[in-house]
Amino acid sequence: MALTPEEASASSEKICRTAPVIPVLVVDDLAHAAPLAAALVAGGLPVLEVTLRTPVALDVIREMAKVPGGIVGAGTILTPSDVEAALEAGATFGVSPGATDKLLAAAEDMGLPMLPGAATATEAMALLERGYRVQKFFPAEASGGAKALKSLASPLPQILFCPTGGVTPENARDYLGLPNTACVGGSWVAPKGKVENGDWAGIEALAKEAALLG
């Protein structure tokens, strides 16, 4: 079912207001999908972004979508075929580091609510012009961090962001205290070592700490 950019943004806002942190997940082993999602949901982070950067990513989405309480989206959506594959795997939202007309048109036609990325005022304005008032600020730290995002709030107060890229437990509050930030995205809640060792209790503990950042 097709979606307007305004409908996609309403959906993204709801997702971004669910928890202060969206874990950005790079999962190499399908067997990790269910316990990883369960640990993050149990820790208070139900919104999960599975990056389409590993060969098993679509199957990981399929497995995570079965975990009760999880809201599973696909990240690193770059092309119309990514949109199609993400929807087919059961993703309920999509995240992109940027945005192109072709990508947004495909997501709107196929009905995948997108959180498209912007790093500059011009990029953010182009997305707003199309109807996307909820956007990912990427790469957040490299683009000037919370200071840069705060500067965008003055001329563009109608845009709500999810800063991602270089966000850590140390700087997350700098973003979350801004009026134009709904949540942050970050990979720190699911570190590679803990995932590979199956340290689900450790990941749940990190999620609990992250859930308190908001």
The residues binding ligand 3PG (CB under 6 A) are 24, 138, 164-167, 185-187
> Of the residues 49, 63, 108, 204, which is catalytic?
49
Which residue in this structure is represented by tokens 């009905």? Answer: 111
Q: Which residue is nearest to ligand 3PG (CB)?
A: 187
Taking the least distance from each CB to ligand 3PG, the nearer of 99 and 167 is 167
The H-or-E segment that residue 16 falls in is helix 5-16
For the bound state, the minimum distance from the C-beta of residue 68 to ligand 3PG, rounded and expressed in Å, comes to: 26
For the bound state, the minimum distance from the C-beta of residue 11 to ligand 3PG, rounded and expressed in Å, comes to: 20
Q: Where are the alpha helices (DSSP H) in 23-156?
A: 33-42, 57-64, 80-89, 101-110, 121-130, 145-153
Taking the least distance from each CB to ligand 3PG, the nearer of 20 and 186 is 186
Nearest to 181 by CA among 208, 141, 214: 214
As a whole number of angstroms, the distance between CA 119 and CA 137 comes to 6
For the bound state, the minimum distance from the C-beta of residue 139 to ligand 3PG, rounded and expressed in Å, comes to: 6
Is residue 14 annotated as part of the catalytic site, yes or no?
A: no
Taking the least distance from each CB to ligand 3PG, the nearer of 70 and 165 is 165
> Of the residues 13, 63, 108, 136, which is catalytic?
136
User: CB-hemisphere CA count at 13 Å for 127?
Assistant: 30
Taking the least distance from each CB to ligand 3PG, the nearer of 51 and 92 is 51
As a whole number of angstroms, the distance between CA 133 and CA 92 comes to 18
For the bound state, the minimum distance from the C-beta of residue 186 to ligand 3PG, rounded and expressed in Å, comes to: 4
* Beta-sheet pairing, 47-51 with 71-75: parallel
Kindly list the catalytic residues.
Answer: 49, 136
